[in-house]
């Protein structure tokens, strides 16, 4: 007699420790990325561009930091939800696999959010200095990708350590 077993995974199988690790890792990663935005990338991303996405005229550095941190936590929670399904679940729980996933998540967030969503969002709210769509330029996109990877690696490692 043959026995069949089916394994399923759902968002409800994520522990509270894993959700907290995603949020905390996202927060820490976005602090590191925010520091890059302040000291490496051309101004005025934190003080003008990010607040402008929400209709806030800058410069508003504290508001930009708060919104950037919010984005980092939300994207950390999105990562936790994403890795629960399919082939990413096991590599995400291992330290070596998590670093590779951090690089991949950093590249993905650059391509989707910085290159596609941000220019459309800024244009939609009427920001006069909205970047062109798609927002791909050298060397800015390379620096943005490095920043998103710097964000994502602490996030993915925190999740792996919590699993």
Domain that holds residue 41: 15-162
How many residues can be counted in the chain? Answer: 163
Q: Is 80 helix (H, G, I), strand (E, B) or coil?
A: helix
Look at residue 50 and tell me if it is in a domain.
yes
The first and second tokens of residue 115, run together, are 């290159």
Look at residue 19 and tell me if it is in a domain.
yes
Q: pLDDT tens digits for 20-75?
A: 999 999 999 999 999 999 998 877 889 999 999 999 998 999 999 999 999 999 99
Look at residue 31 and tell me if it is in a domain.
yes
The pLDDT, as a whole number, for residue 86 is 78
The pLDDT, as a whole number, for residue 135 is 93
Look at residue 10 and tell me if it is in a domain.
no
The pLDDT, as a whole number, for residue 4 is 58
Look at residue 2 and tell me if it is in a domain.
no
Looking at the 3D structure of the chain, how many domains does it have?
1
Look at residue 3 and tell me if it is in a domain.
no
Helix 140-162 × helix 95-109 angle, to 10°: 140
- Cα torsion 76, 32, 59, 66: sign: positive
**Strands, E, within the chain: which ranges?**
none
Tokens 């943005």 appear where?
A: 144
Residue 88 confidence (pLDDT) above 60: yes
Tally Cβ neighbours within 10 Å of residue 150. Answer: 19
CA angle 42, 35, 83 (to 5 degrees): 110
- Cα torsion 154, 27, 50, 32: sign: negative
Look at residue 63 and tell me if it is in a domain.
yes
């Amino acid at each position: 007699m043959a026995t069949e077993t089916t394994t399923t995974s759902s968002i409800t199988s994520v522990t509270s420790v894993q959700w907290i690790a995603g949020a905390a890792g996202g927060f820490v990663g976005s602090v590191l990325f925010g520091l890059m935005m302040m000291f490496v990338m051309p101004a005025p991303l934190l003080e003008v561009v990010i607040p402008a996405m929400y209709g806030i005229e800058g410069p508003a550095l504290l508001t930009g930091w708060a919104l950037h941190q919010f984005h980092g936590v939300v994207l950390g929670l999105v990562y936790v939800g994403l890795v629960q399904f399919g082939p990413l679940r096991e590599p995400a729980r291992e330290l070596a696999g998590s670093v590779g996933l951090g690089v991949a998540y950093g590249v993905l967030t650059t391509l989707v959010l910085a290159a596609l969503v941000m220019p459309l969002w800024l244009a939609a709210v009427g920001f006069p200095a909205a970047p062109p769509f798609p927002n791909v330029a050298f060397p800015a996109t390379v620096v943005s990708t490095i920043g998103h990877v710097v964000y994502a690696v602490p996030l993915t490692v925190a999740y792996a350590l919590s699993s």
